[in-house]
Amino acid sequence: METAKENLQTEEFWVNMGPQHPSTHGVLYVELKLSGETVVDCIINIGYLHRGIEKIAENRTYTQFMPFTDRLDYVASMTNNLGYVLAVEKSMKTEVNDRAKYIRVIIAELQRVASHLVGITTFVQDLGAFATPLFYGFREREKIIEFFDELCGNRLTYNYMRIGGVQFDLPKGTDEKIKYIVKYMRPKIDDLESLFSSNAIFTARTKGIGVLSKEKAINYSVTGPNLRASGVKWDLRKDEPYLCYDKFNFDIPTGANGDSWDRYKVRIEEMRQSLRIVEQAIGGLPEGDPTVKIGRIIKPEPGEAYMRTEAPRGELGFYVVSDGSTYPYRLKIRSPSFSNLAVLPELVKGMKVADVVCVLGSLDIVMGDIDR
C-alpha cells in the first residue's frame, strides 16, 4: 500500500484565465500550466483589443490623430496626449511657452494621482476585498475627474493637450480649485494607506509575492513604479527632465524587495510626490497665453523624432517619422504596459494559482496600452 502511494504522481494540466476573467484587467487571455495548485508555466495571449492605431496615424493629419491617443491607456488619457504632442513638437523643433509647460505638468501629475487611485483600489479588489476600497478610491478620484470634465468636457477619454500648447487656458478660479484638490487629497491618501497597510490579509497576500529583481526588471525593460519598486531609482522626470520638471522639488520613491507589496507602496508614495509637484507648479504659474500659436496644417521637416515621458505606468514613447507631408510617414508607440506584462511568466512560475491574480494586479496594466 505504501509503495502504491509513493508511485502516485500529479498530472499537469492547463487552465485558462480570461479573456473574460474579472481579474484580467481588460481583454487578456492567460494560459496557466498547473501541477496541483502550483504554476508550472504561463503563456500570455494578447491582441483581443488591437485596433491598428499606429497604422491609422499614417492616414490622419498630425492634428486629427490627437483623439486616438486618448484610447491607448484610457485610465491616463492626459498623459498619452502629452507624450504625443511632445514628440510632434520635437519633430517640428517647436517649444511651447512656460505657462503651457506648467499647465501640462499640473495636468499630468493630477492624472498620475487619478490613475494610481484606480490601480491600487482595483488591485485590492482583485485580492477579494468587497466594494468598499474601490468606492473610496473612486470617490477621491472623482475630485480630479470633475476638474478634468470642466477643463476639456470629458470624464475618461480626456483631450486637452494640443500641438503647440493646450486647448484652453485654465479657467478663472482654477488655481484655488487645484489647491483645494491637493489639500483634500493628502489626508485621503493617508486614509487609504492606513486602510490597506493595516489589513493582515492584504499584507499576507502581497509581501514576498511576485518578487522582481533589479536585474530581471531591467532585462525585461520594465519601467515606472514596477521598476522603482525593485529598487531601481529611475524616473524620466529626474533623469531626463522634460517640460519644467527640473524646477520642482520631489522625491523618487523606491522599494526594497520588488514584491507586490512594494509595488503598492511605491504608488501610494508617488501620489504624495505628485501633489507636491502640483502645489509648486500652481504656486509659481507664469503669465502668458498657453494656447496654440501654430497653424492647423502641420508639416514637420523630413526626419524622425523620439520622445519618451514618465507616464503613470512607466515610460511612454512616441517615435514619429516625417516625410514632409501633413501625415506621419510612420508612428510607433512604446507602451509601458507591454513590457510590464511580459515579465509576468517569470514572476508566477512556482507560485500557487491564487497568487497569479495578485501579481497581475500589482503590475497595474491596461490592455488598451498594450493592444494598439
For the chain, 372 residues long, give each residue's pLDDT as a single digit of tens.
Answer: 555 556 666 788 899 988 877 667 778 899 999 998 999 999 999 988 888 999 999 999 999 999 999 989 889 999 999 999 999 999 999 999 999 999 999 999 999 999 999 999 988 888 877 778 888 889 999 999 999 999 988 888 889 999 999 999 998 889 999 999 999 999 999 999 998 888 888 899 999 999 999 999 999 999 999 999 999 999 999 999 999 999 999 999 999 999 999 999 999 999 999 999 999 999 889 999 998 888 878 999 999 999 999 999 999 999 999 999 999 999 999 999 999 999 999 999 999 998 999 999 999 999 889 988
Per-domain residue ranges for the chain?
2-51+96-294+337-370
Candidates 64, 61, 63, 81; CA nearest to 72 is: 81
Closest-CA residue to 161 (of 200, 224, 235, 106): 106
Amino acid at 49: L
Residue 262 to residue 254: CA distance in whole angstroms: 8
Do the strands 38-45 and 29-35 form a parallel or antiparallel pair, or are they unpaired?
antiparallel
- Decide: 88 and 62 in contact? Cβ < 8 Å: yes
Contacts of 235 (CB under 8 A, 6+ apart): 228, 252, 310
Domain at 2-51+96-294+337-370: CATH code: 1.10.645.10
* Alpha-carbon gap, residue 66 to 180, rounded angstroms: 30
Rounded-to-integer distance, Cα 372 and Cα 365, Å: 14
Predicted TM-score (pTM) of the model is: 0.93
Q: Give the 3-state secondary structure of residue 290.
A: coil
Q: What is the DSSP letter of 229?
A: H
Cell numbers for 217 = 526588471
Please report which helix (H) or strand (E) contains residue 332, including its range.
Answer: strand 328-334
- Report the candidate in 80, 22, 18 with the shortest Cα–Cα distance to residue 46: 18
For cell 509513493, the residue is 6
